[in-house]
Structures are given as C-alpha cells and as structure tokens.
Homo-oligomer: A and B are copies of this chain.
Amino acid sequence: MIAKVKPINQVACKDCILSTLCLPIALKVEDIDTLDSIIKRGKPLRKGEHLFFQGDTFSSIYAVRSGALKTYTTTDDGVEQITGFQLPSELVGLSGIDDEHYPVSAQAVETTMVCEIPFERLDELASTLPELRRKLMQIMSKEIREDQQMMLLLSKKNADERIATFLLNLAARFRRRGFSSQAFRLPMSRNEMGNYLGLAVETVSRVFTRFQKNGLIDANGKEVLIKDSMTICSLAGGKPVNQANDSLTG
C-alpha cells in the first residue's frame, strides 16, 4: 500500500489518470489546460471531515481525485438519508446549482482528495467550450438517470436485490477505474450502506452473511470478493432466474 507516489493532489488535469473519466473528457488539449487553470486543489480531507454542509452557500462543484465521499440530506427532525457515494473522477455538488445553497452535506468516508471547480468560472468556460457544456449536461443527465434507478431500487426491490444491485454498481465503477471488479474494498460502513439502501444495519449484515453462506461472495469486513456474479446479476436485475432463489439465497 505504501509506495513512492508523486503528490497526486498537485497533478494537472492533463496528467491526471482520471482525465478520461472526469470532466476533461472530450476536451481538446489546449482546452484542458484552460479548465485546469480554474481548478483549485486543496489539502486532503480526513475520514469524517466535511467538504460542505447542507445549507452552505453554493459556489463550487468538486471532483473526487482519490478516496471517497458521501452526500446526505438531513430532514428537520434529524433523519439522514445518504444520497450517493462518489468515487474518484465523480462530481459532487451539482444539486446546488439551482439554489443559492447546497441541498446536501458532503463528507469524506475515507481520506479523500478533491479538485474544487468554482462554478462561476466553469459556467463562463462552458459558454466558449461547447464540448464542456455538453459534458456537463451529460453528467447531470446521468445523475438524474441513476437517481431514478435508485428510486426503483428503494421502491420495488427487496433486501437481497438491493445489496446485489449495490455490489454490482460498485464493481462496475471500480472496473472503469482500472481496478478489479471481482475483489475490492468497500469504502463505506455497513451502517452507511444500509442508510443509502433503505435497510437497517442488521439486515445488511444478514444479507452479507447469507450471500457468503450461499457462495455468492466472500466478505471479510470491508473486503469483498464476488464469486458468483451470474446469480448476483440476476438478483440485481430482478428475478429472471427464479428457480435459483431457494438454493442460492433462501
């Protein structure tokens, strides 16, 4: 784990390994430099530190560079709902554009570095760089699509299906970033997972245990190994392989 890495937080967009996933995608080289020039790079956030709080004045969106964030809303009576986890190259803060204030809080779930992108500047840039404008709209459109898939999950899927969907989603995101989609480390706690998926911690724990007992995964704390992705897939997508339910998850 410990290796001589160059200070990742100072890497420019054009040298960043995430550039093909992040905002710079589809930009010309010289345009990437322009984008780069407006980005501020701060010091790392330690686990538990906040990037911003719900109600803070909106001014910037952020790209995760390393680590992971969560965003969550809090109701008046203190109920919290995690609305998403952000991995490297993903943006956070987009839901604040419409308002003066962020409608969510953003907190590091592990040590995390971010690139701050002042929105005013980004917006100016978007007027001269059509590709950037399009990319921004695509990212927001994708977020809408994913949030709506989340509505489907929360409204129609049972505990097994929720966990299966969640694991596959993470796996796919890790793969895109060049990591294994079979074996990975969950950045969040069982509690956070449960909160996000609309399940009690105990239920999350039980499903993990059951999945393991039935040979779908190997889980050791936050380390997860996907052993039977076929079955997990079919769970996540609904119940197309219904006859497998008993022997595999029951």
Min distance, Cβ A105 to any Cβ of chain B, angstroms: 12
Interface residues of A, dominant DSSP: helix
Interface string of A133-159 (1 = CB under 8 A from B): 110111111111101111110111000
* A220 CB within 8 Å of chain B: no
Q: How far is it, in angstroms, between the C-alpha of A237 and the C-alpha of B73 when the chains are bound?
A: 13
Interface string of A119-142 (1 = CB under 8 A from B): 000010011001001101111111
Interface residue stretch chosen among A12-20, A74-82, A223-231: A74-82
Q: How far is it, in angstroms, between the C-alpha of A77 and the C-alpha of B123 when the chains are bound?
A: 41
**Residues on the B chain within 8 Å of A142, using CB:** 98
Q: Which of A84, A155, A196 has the most CB of B within 10 A?
A: A155
Identical chains bound together, number: 2
**Residues on the B chain within 8 Å of A126, using CB:** 133
Q: Of all chain B residues, which has the CB nearest A198? A: B155
| A: contact size bracket | 35 or more
**Residues on the B chain within 8 Å of A154, using CB:** 151, 154-155, 198
Q: How far is it, in angstroms, between the C-alpha of A123 and the C-alpha of B126 when the chains are bound?
A: 12
Min distance, Cβ A58 to any Cβ of chain B, angstroms: 9
Q: How far is it, in angstroms, between the C-alpha of A77 and the C-alpha of B161 when the chains are bound?
A: 13
Q: Of all chain B residues, which has the CB nearest A241? A: B77
Q: How far is it, in angstroms, between the C-alpha of A196 and the C-alpha of B149 when the chains are bound?
A: 13
Contact, CB under 8 Å: B76 / A240: yes
* A104 CB within 8 Å of chain B: yes
Q: Of all chain B residues, which has the CB nearest A144? A: B95
A-B contact pairs, 16 of them (CB 8 A): A73-B149, A75-B152, A75-B238, A76-B237, A77-B238, A94-B144, A98-B137, A98-B138, A98-B145, A99-B145, A104-B148, A123-B133, A127-B133, A136-B137, A150-B151, A154-B198
